[in-house]
Amino acid sequence: KEESWDSFSAWLTWAHEKPTLEKDEENVRRGYARFVLREDIWLVGIDKATGMPVIWTGLHNPVWDIPAAGIGYMVRKSAQGRGFATESTNALLRFAFNALGMKRVAIAHAEGNEASAAVIRKLGFHFEAFEKYGTYLPDRRAVNKFSYARFDADGLPDLAVKWGPP
């Protein structure tokens, strides 16, 4: 988070103040509890070459009786532009539809966040809504929001990820 704070705090609504180590630990514990309660699925992607976390992602706020969820991600600054967001979102979509039986996975981006918009386009999400001033940035500016969804894994690009030892 230290390395990437400037990029996180530009777009992520929770990033209005830097968390302390204690706050991070509390958030991880809450995330684990939400996972156990089936309220959230957090994942961290580790670069095998460096052992460093490069992406934080997940299926958020699942509604199991529909079933549907949202998806989101943030990429370490030094790892941006290397395809981690696209690849992990592609893999999570396959997991959501094929393993969890999801019927809908939603995603959104704030106007101006072209990196997220590019991932959404590459993965074939369907445009659903434009919300004027529909989200706010950490600096409390209201900006337009674009919302999308996918309803199956059909047509996703092939996965290029390599699993296991290098």
Contact 107, 146 (CB under 8 A): no
pLDDT in tens, the chain (166 residues): 565 556 655 555 555 566 677 877 887 888 888 888 899 998 888 888 888 889 889 999 999 999 999 998 988 888 888 888 999 999 999 999 999 999 999 999 999 889 999 999 999 999 999 999 988 877 788 999 999 999 999 999 998 766 555 5
C-alpha distance across the termini of the chain, in Å? 25
According to the model, what pLDDT value does residue 41 have?
A: 92
According to the model, what pLDDT value does residue 18 have?
A: 67
Exposure of 38 by Cβ count < 10 A (0-12 exposed, 13-18 middle, 19+ buried)? exposed
Q: How many other CB atoms are found less than 10 A from the CB of residue 149?
A: 18
> What CA–CA distances, in Å, run from 58 to 40, 134, 140?
8, 22, 25
According to the model, what pLDDT value does residue 17 have?
A: 65
According to the model, what pLDDT value does residue 160 have?
A: 79
Q: Between 114-122 and 84-94, two packed helices, what is the crossing angle to 10 degrees?
A: 40
Q: Give the separation between CA 19 and CA 154, rounded to whole angstroms.
A: 39
pTM, 2 dp: 0.83
40-46 and 104-110 strand pairing: unpaired
Q: How many other CB atoms are found less than 10 A from the CB of residue 100?
A: 16
According to the model, what pLDDT value does residue 9 have?
A: 52
According to the model, what pLDDT value does residue 35 have?
A: 85
